[in-house]
């Protein structure tokens, strides 16, 4: 029986431990989907679906200066007294707690965002696509599963910054501009440091998803896009051509189009980085043919913190995803 693969993409600052093969939140959602699907349809979820757990953050350590290593360097410049932390009194620790936490978030979470929007070779984007195409951990990769089974399909489940990474992949894949590849090209003449990236490249050349040799396959087999706590709307400010005119975002492009595809955007109004997207993409009439649905929900717990991290276990996310996925099998 042909499989439908769910590709899970984590967000900024995740996973937090180097020994994590993938973000444990992936498995929490997967188990809830499996239980709900079997209860609703009477069928085993694993008979029709398989997970693909992506961990782009872990592989960023395999370069001479890892992203988290440089982030730590910046953070320690703010708090050189960290080495004396055990000797400090409770009052000294309490006074510095708030700025310490704020700097920690800005450095290790927002730092990933800054690294992603850099104009160089974009190691984050490169690592993400390498794991999707060639595989990671127990995931064999789209190259193998799509070529081995002519009816296999895939969808993407992405959280936070991961939703931006996934959107950029789909945008390049479906817009089809040969002069705008998804992967920035290595250029040792302008950036000698690119030699480090060539050393970590897989033995086989990594094709760009816009390559005509594979893009039709990737387009044909894609089905659904599920975004959780997505800052995609905010990231549209990267491209001034979209909003520096009398009608902002009138040319914005929704790559998820076709009668057998859909985009479901889950957001908590209390989530500071999540944005509804239906009205934004609706400013371009060319997107009216696309299935894009905002799903508003409330993540209970600590405000601002759990409002951004509670999607993986929320019943609305599970219920909507099962409804959508069960209609495709």
**Residue-level pLDDT at 26:** 87
Q: Is the separation of the CB atoms in 99 and 82 below 8 Å? A: no
Report how far Cα 192 is from the mean position of its chain's Cα atoms.
29
> Which CA distances in Å does 247 have to 184, 230, 242, 286, 290?
30, 23, 9, 15, 20
- pTM score, two decimals? 0.85
Mean pLDDT of 52-75: 67
Q: What domains sit in the chain, N to C, each tagged with a CATH number? A: 4-59+122-326 (3.40.50.1820)
- pLDDT, tens only, 73-96: 655 656 665 545 555 665 665 556
Whole-angstrom Cα distance, residue 34 to residue 321?
11
The answer to whether the peptide bond before residue 15 is cis (omega within 30 degrees of 0) is yes
Least confident among 15-24, 60-69, 221-230, 259-268: 15-24
Count Cβ neighbours within 10 Å for each residue of 117-155 and write b for 16 or more, e otherwise: eeeebbbbbbbbbbbbbbbbeebebbbebbeeeeebbbb
Whole-angstrom Cα distance, residue 107 to residue 201?
27
- pLDDT, tens only, 255-286: 999 889 999 999 999 998 899 999 999 999 99
Q: Left (φ > 0), alpha (ψ -120 to 50) or beta: where does 209 sit?
A: alpha
Whole-angstrom Cα distance, residue 14 to residue 17?
8
Pairing of strands 49-53, 222-228: unpaired
Q: State the pLDDT confidence band at 166, using cuts at 50, 70 and 90.
A: very high
């Amino acid at each position: 029986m042909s499989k439908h693969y769910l590709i899970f993409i984590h967000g900024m600052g995740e996973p937090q431990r180097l020994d994590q093969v993938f973000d444990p939140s992936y498995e929490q959602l997967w188990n809830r989907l499996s239980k709900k699907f079997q209860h609703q349809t009477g069928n085993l979820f694993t008979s029709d679906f398989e997970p693909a757990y992506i961990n782009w953050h872990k592989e960023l350590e395999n370069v001479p200066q890892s992203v988290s290593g440089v982030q730590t360097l910046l953070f320690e410049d703010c708090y050189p007294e960290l080495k004396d932390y055990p000797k400090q009194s409770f009052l000294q620790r309490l006074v510095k707690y708030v700025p310490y936490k704020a700097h920690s978030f800005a450095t290790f979470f927002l730092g990933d965002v800054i690294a992603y929007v850099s104009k160089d070779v974009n190691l984050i984007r490169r690592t993400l696509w390498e794991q999707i195409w060639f595989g990671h951990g127990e995931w064999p990769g789209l190259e193998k599963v799509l070529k081995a089974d002519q009816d296999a399909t895939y969808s993407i489940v992405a959280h936070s910054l991961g939703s931006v990474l996934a959107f950029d992949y789909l945008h390049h894949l479906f817009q089809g501009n040969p002069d705008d590849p998804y992967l920035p090209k290595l250029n040792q003449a302008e950036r000698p440091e690119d030699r480090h990236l060539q050393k970590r490249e897989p033995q086989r050349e990594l094709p760009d998803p816009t390559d005509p040799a594979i893009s039709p396959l990737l387009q044909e087999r894609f089905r659904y896009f599920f975004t959780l706590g997505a800052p995609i709307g905010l990231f549209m400010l990267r491209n001034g051509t979209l909003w520096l005119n009398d009608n902002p975002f009138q040319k914005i492009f929704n790559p998820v189009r076709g009668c057998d595809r859909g985009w479901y955007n889950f957001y908590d109004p209390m989530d500071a980085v999540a944005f509804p997207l239906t009205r934004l993409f609706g400013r371009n009439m060319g997107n009216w043919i696309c299935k894009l649905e905002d799903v508003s929900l409330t993540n209970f717990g600590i405000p601002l913190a759990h409002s951004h991290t509670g999607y993986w276990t929320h019943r609305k996310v599970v219920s909507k995803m099962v409804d959508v996925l069960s209609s495709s099998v």
